[in-house]
């Protein structure tokens, strides 16, 4: 079997510094300051000393620690942070697990759909209601877990991964940050409008021109494909919109997740612009407002030293500037639309977290554990495969391994009983041979093959042993599964 050692991307630091500045600002103004505000009764002051910005006598500009403290998960090469974005009534419309990979120096995000139906032991409902219901149970003395802790524990258990920290931000905080930045520049991919976008707090408003009261914003929010300058109100509508009758493709939760990612990217880009020159840090009133927004709207389990350590990590070991975003969507093969509602359920019909562990639940855990690999392998979606086999279980194993590695299942052709190949027998041994003439595709297969649980070899040539007709003959990768004993 051909093997390939894992290679890291070259350290091209040019162009990355502004991205890192943006991330450091997010860490400092979000995680660090919220931790400081939660754990301290001191007023936040911002004098500049010789070494830079200080807060309460603690140097921030230099990110000073004699030795950077190790973060939770660092020994296992991955730190996971659960990020919850709340709306005005406590619903968590945004549920994202952000992961930092130390060896690869990569940042990934894994989004869970707000309509995912869950069973948490107290009831069955959409996951976006879990935070508020946990808060109510805590207040009523039914359970003693804080909502952030409850969600972190539940998701860690169900996804089969450790979640080391959590952080929350509410919509008001997001809005204020965007306003302080003077709006965002965002490229709209698809035109759409949403005539059922709710008003603040879902209150009815009387519109004189319409002579009626409605719980929706009028005129209908409308977005046109192309570059757009958005204020905070427009950006949040763009990120949160869930209805669209003129473009159904934008009415699904996964399209909404992509728009959220655009708003996050737009915010980071604006932070780059604001802080790259250093002028923003000299604007003490603006810095003070950022601190106030963070203290009022962010919460996190990171303590002060951990937040500084995280910021220093991003400063001293700059990650790849491209955040790789992934979401639990229909294409994953793990979640499906409920036939009677808009809910998203595990394929097979059960709620996420239910006791009857299923193949779909296992698939969700595979995705959560391998999100970096899943996100990286999106580039493989255009590769076509032809698997011709001998009726053995190994033939189907090959198919499942390719799908699990992120290749498009619709482009994996399978003939498990190819008539020119000797069929498998009881106790026979099979061998898979990959014929891949394209060097780039061959390297992708080698990189993902570490998780294959079957014997195989790779040939850098076109397979000519059998005459494969039609789409099988046109495939970029041909795989033969043959009996060897």
DSSP string, 419-444: TTSPPP-TT--EEEEEE---HHHHHH
pLDDT-based confidence at 385, cuts 50/70/90?
Answer: very high
> What per-residue confidence (pLDDT) applies to 85?
81
pLDDT at 426 over 50: yes
CATH (residue range 74-163+328-373) = 3.30.420
Residue 41 scores a pLDDT above 70? no
Single out the residue of 469, 457, 256 nearest to residue 344, CA to CA: 256
8 Å CB contact between 197 and 221? yes
What is the pLDDT confidence band of residue 380, given thresholds at 50, 70 and 90?
low
75, 320 contact by CB (below 8 A): no
Greatest mean pLDDT among 16-20, 87-91, 248-252, 414-418 lies in 414-418
What pLDDT is attached to residue 251? 79
Domain boundaries, the chain: 74-163+328-373, 383-483
Identity of the highest mean pLDDT range in 12-21, 235-244, 306-315: 235-244
Hey, which of 79-83, 167-171, 259-263 has the most confident mean pLDDT? 79-83
Cα 167 to Cα 113: distance, rounded to the nearest angstrom = 18
DSSP state letters, 87-151:
-TTS-EEEEEEEEEETTTTEEEEEE--TTBEEE-SS-EEEGGGHHHHHHHHHHHTS--S-HHHHH
- The answer to whether residues 397 and 454 touch, using CB atoms and an 8 Å cutoff, is yes
462: pLDDT strictly greater than 50: yes
Shortest CA distance to 97 belongs to which of 408, 323, 400, 358? 323
What are the CA-CA distances from residue 459 to residues 251, 456, 477 (Å)?
Answer: 45, 10, 10
For helices 17-26 and 304-316, what crossing angle results, to 10°? 170
Instruction: Label residue 230 by pLDDT band (50, 70, 90).
Output: very high
Q: What residues contact residue 119 under an 8 Å CB cut-off, 6+ apart?
A: 351, 352, 353, 354, 355
**DSSP character string of 57-86:** TEETTTT--SSPPPPTTGGGTEEEEEEEEE
**450-459 pLDDT tens trace:** 778 888 899 9
The whole-angstrom separation of Cα 297 and Cα 33 is 11
Q: What confidence score (pLDDT) does residue 288 get?
A: 66
CA distance 379 to 372: 13
Q: What value does the mean pLDDT of the chain take?
A: 77
Please tell me which of 164-173, 255-264, 413-422, 440-449 the model is most confident about, judged by mean pLDDT.
413-422
H or E element that contains 175: helix 171-180
First to last CA, the chain: 18
Q: Give the sheet arrangement for strand 48-49, strand by strand.
A: 48-49, 52-55, 58-59
Rounded distance, CA 445 to CA 80, Å? 27
> Is pLDDT above 70 for 132?
yes
Nearest-angstrom CA–CA distance, 51 and 67: 18
Grouping H, G, I as helix, E, B as strand and the rest as coil, residue 341 is coil
The better pLDDT of the pair 353, 379 is held by 353
Q: Which of 363, 358, 478, 321 minimizes the C-alpha distance to 415? A: 478
Tell me the per-residue pLDDT of 278-290, one tens digit each, with 9 for 90 and over: 555 556 677 667 6
The pLDDT-based confidence of 150 (bands split at 50, 70, 90) is very high
Rounded mean pLDDT of 250-268? Answer: 75
Give residue 390's region: left, alpha or beta (phi > 0; psi -120 to 50).
Answer: alpha
């Amino acid at each position: 079997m051909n093997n390939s050692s894992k290679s890291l991307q070259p350290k091209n630091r040019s162009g990355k510094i502004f991205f890192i500045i943006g991330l450091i600002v997010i860490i400092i103004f979000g995680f660090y300051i919220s931790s400081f505000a939660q754990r301290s009764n001191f007023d936040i002051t911002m004098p500049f000393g010789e070494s830079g910005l200080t807060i309460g006598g603690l140097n921030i500009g230099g990110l000073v620690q004699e030795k950077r403290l190790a973060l939770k998960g660092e020994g296992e090469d991955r730190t996971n942070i659960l990020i919850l974005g709340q709306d005005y009534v406590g619903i968590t419309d945004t549920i994202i697990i952000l992961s930092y990979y130390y060896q690869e120096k990569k940042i990934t995000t894994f989004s869970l759909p707000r309509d995912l139906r869950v069973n948490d032991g107290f009831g069955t409902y959409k996951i976006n209601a879990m935070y508020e219901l946990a808060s109510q149970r805590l207040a009523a003395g039914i359970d003693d877990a804080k909502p952030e802790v409850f969600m972190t524990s539940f998701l860690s258990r169900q996804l089969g991964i450790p979640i080391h920290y959590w952080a929350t931000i509410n919509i008001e905080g997001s809005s204020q940050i965007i306003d302080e930045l003077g709006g965002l520049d965002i490229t709209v991919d698809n035109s759409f409008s949403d005539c059922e976008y709710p008003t603040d707090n879902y209150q009815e408003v009387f519109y004189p021109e319409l002579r009626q009261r409605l719980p929706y914003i009028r005129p209908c929010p409308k977005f046109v494909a192309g570059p757009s300058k958005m204020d905070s109100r427009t950006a949040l509508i763009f990120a949160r919109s869930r209805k669209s009758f003129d473009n159904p493709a934008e009415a699904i939760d996964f399209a909404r997740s992509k728009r959220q990612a655009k708003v996050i990217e737009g915010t980071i880009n604006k932070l780059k612009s604001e802080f790259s020159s250093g002028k923003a840090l000299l604007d003490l009133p603006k810095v003070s407002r950022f601190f106030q927004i963070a203290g009022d709207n962010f919460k996190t389990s990171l303590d002060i030293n951990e937040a500084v350590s995280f910021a220093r990590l991003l400063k001293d070991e700059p990650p790849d500037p491209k955040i790789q975003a992934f979401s639990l969507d229909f294409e994953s093969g793990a979640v499906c639309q409920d036939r009677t509602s808009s809910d998203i359920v595990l394929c097979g019909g059960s709620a996420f977290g239910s006791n009857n562990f299923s193949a779909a639940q296992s698939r969700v855990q595979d995705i959560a554990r391998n999100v970096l690999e899943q996100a990286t392998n999106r580039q493989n979606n255009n590769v076509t495969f032809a698997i011709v086999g001998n009726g053995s279980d190994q033939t189907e194993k090959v198919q499942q391994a390719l799908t699990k590695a992120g290749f498009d299942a619709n482009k994996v052709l399978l003939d498990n009983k190819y008539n020119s190949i000797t069929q498998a027998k009881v106790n026979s041994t099979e061998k898979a041979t990959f014929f891949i003439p394209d060097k780039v595709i061959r390297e992708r297969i080698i990189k993902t093959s570490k998780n294959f649980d079957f014997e195989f070899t790779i040939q850098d040539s076109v397979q000519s042993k059998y005459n494969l007709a039609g789409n099988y003959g046109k495939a970029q990768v041909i795989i033969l599964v043959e009996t060897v004993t």
